Amino acid sequence: MPSPRRNVEGRPLGASAANCSSSVPGSPAHGGGGGGRFEFQALLSGRTGADPACARLRASESPVHRRGSFPLAAAGPAPAPPAPPPEDDRMTLNPSFLAIALRSLLAIDLWLSKKLGVCAGESSSWGSARPLMKLLEISGHGVPWLLGTLYCLSRSDSWAGREVLMNLLFALLLDLLLVAAMKGLVRRRRPAHNQMDMFFTLSVDKYSFPSGHTTRAALVSRFILNHLVLAIPLRVLVVLWAFILGLSRVMLGRHNVTDVAFGFFVGYMQYSIVDYFWLSPHNAPFLFVLWNQQ
């Protein structure tokens, strides 16, 4: 005779179903006529010491379980929404329009500077013109201009000439200090295709922004055009010298295009500072008296 089907605990399946049905009020075995499902679920959740097999059977017959939801015992509070990212992360993920524009301009600057660096090396497309460009570089260096101004100042025998040369010396010293300060603050490296074979470099000359040769060319050219009476062809030559000197800085690979452009602006504004604080025997007599004694 075949044995009756048994459940997981080894009990007959019919007995388990009978026990479950007899323990629920409202079932036929309990004497009730048909108490609703809500009463059945309330009693199911309230009985903690019931038979585990009955609990599993009740859960399988529950309408909540039939809909594919989680069991009632596993239901918990809803998970909290994720916290928003910090402000710095949000700025990184969503950069502003200004940051995108600056990065685009920087990329164009680097690309154009590399394209114009045709004399950066002997193997470049215009490598044969590199010695001429280096000679032009020396013409805009600060050391020749300082030494030449000091020599002319020592040989001058007129008050007007000394006044002009004294202010030119003041302009050159101001240019050296301001350019060195800006290079130390910005610390922009020179282009990667540059060769560090410059004439008489200092520690700050390893930085690129702004171009000191370009600021000096713009400052000296404006100074000469305003305080030396020159013919029209000579004035044109002075302007061409300043422009070609600035262009040669990019062709030699010494600077980027923005370094030279900002250098022209700084040099132009430096002359305005020199003109505002113009030194004369009236406002700085001690300088001229000291120079006369020497």
pLDDT for 114 beyond 60: yes
Does residue 48 lie within any of the structural domains? yes
Banded pLDDT at 285 (limits 50, 70, 90):
confident
Full domain range(s) for residue 192: 127-293
Instruction: Please tell me the least confidently modeled range out of 77-81, 84-88, 116-120, 285-289.
Output: 84-88
pLDDT for 262 beyond 80: yes
3-class DSSP assignment, residue 86: coil
Among 80, 109, 138, where does a domain finish? 109
Residues 101 and 142 in one domain: no
Among 109, 141, 176, where does a domain finish? 109
Q: Which of 171, 173, 126, 127 is nearest to 273 (CA)?
A: 171
Does residue 140 lie within any of the structural domains? yes
Mean pLDDT of the region 257-272: 95
Instruction: Please tell me the least confidently modeled range out of 19-28, 114-123, 170-179, 204-213.
Output: 19-28
Q: Which of 187, 258, 245 is nearest to 219 (CA)?
A: 245
Mean pLDDT of the region 131-142: 90
Supply 56's token pair: 């599993």
The whole model's pTM is what?
0.65
Residues 242 and 145 in one domain: yes
Question: What does the mean pLDDT of the chain come to?
Answer: 76
3-class DSSP assignment, residue 207: strand
How far is 155 from 165, CA to CA, in rounded Å?
Answer: 11
Banded pLDDT at 128 (limits 50, 70, 90):
confident
Mean pLDDT of the region 130-154: 91
**Do residues 219 and 171 touch, judged by C-beta distance below 8 A?**
yes
**Do residues 32 and 40 touch, judged by C-beta distance below 8 A?**
no
Annotated catalytic residue, options 65, 141, 255, 282: 255
**Is 227 an annotated catalytic residue?**
no
How far is 142 from 114, CA to CA, in rounded Å?
Answer: 26
How far is 275 from 232, CA to CA, in rounded Å?
Answer: 23
Over residues 237-260, the pLDDT tens digits come to 999 999 999 999 999 999 999 999
Supply 271's token pair: 């002359």
Mean pLDDT of the region 61-86: 52
Residues 131 and 101 in one domain: no
Mean pLDDT of the region 116-121: 87
Q: Report the pLDDT value the prediction gives residue 18, as an integer from 0 to 100.
A: 45
pLDDT for 3 beyond 80: no
Mean pLDDT of the region 154-168: 87
Residues 24 and 70 in one domain: yes
Does residue 138 lie within any of the structural domains? yes
Q: Report the pLDDT value the prediction gives residue 82, as an integer from 0 to 100.
A: 65
3-class DSSP assignment, residue 254: coil
How far is 279 from 285, CA to CA, in rounded Å?
Answer: 9
Mean pLDDT of the region 30-57: 49
Annotated catalytic residue, options 65, 213, 227, 282: 213
Does residue 5 lie within any of the structural domains? no
More confidently predicted of 25 and 149: 149
Q: Report the pLDDT value the prediction gives residue 264, as an integer from 0 to 100.
A: 96
Side chain identity, residue 28: P
Q: Report the pLDDT value the prediction gives residue 10, as an integer from 0 to 100.
A: 47
Domain count for the chain, please give it: 2
Q: Report the pLDDT value the prediction gives residue 155, as an integer from 0 to 100.
A: 86
Q: Report the pLDDT value the prediction gives residue 290, as an integer from 0 to 100.
A: 64
pLDDT for 28 beyond 90: no
More confidently predicted of 221 and 78: 221
pLDDT for 126 beyond 50: yes
How far is 61 from 82, CA to CA, in rounded Å?
Answer: 36
More confidently predicted of 90 and 231: 231
What dihedral do alpha carbons 169, 175, 181, 185 form, nearest 10°? -170
Among 83, 109, 135, where does a domain finish? 109
How far is 182 from 253, CA to CA, in rounded Å?
Answer: 20
Over residues 174-199, the pLDDT tens digits come to 999 999 999 999 999 998 888 877 77
3-class DSSP assignment, residue 189: strand
pLDDT for 281 beyond 70: yes
Mean pLDDT of the region 147-163: 88
Residues 159 and 90 in one domain: no
DSSP lists the bridge partners of residue 12 as 6
Residues 71 and 152 in one domain: no
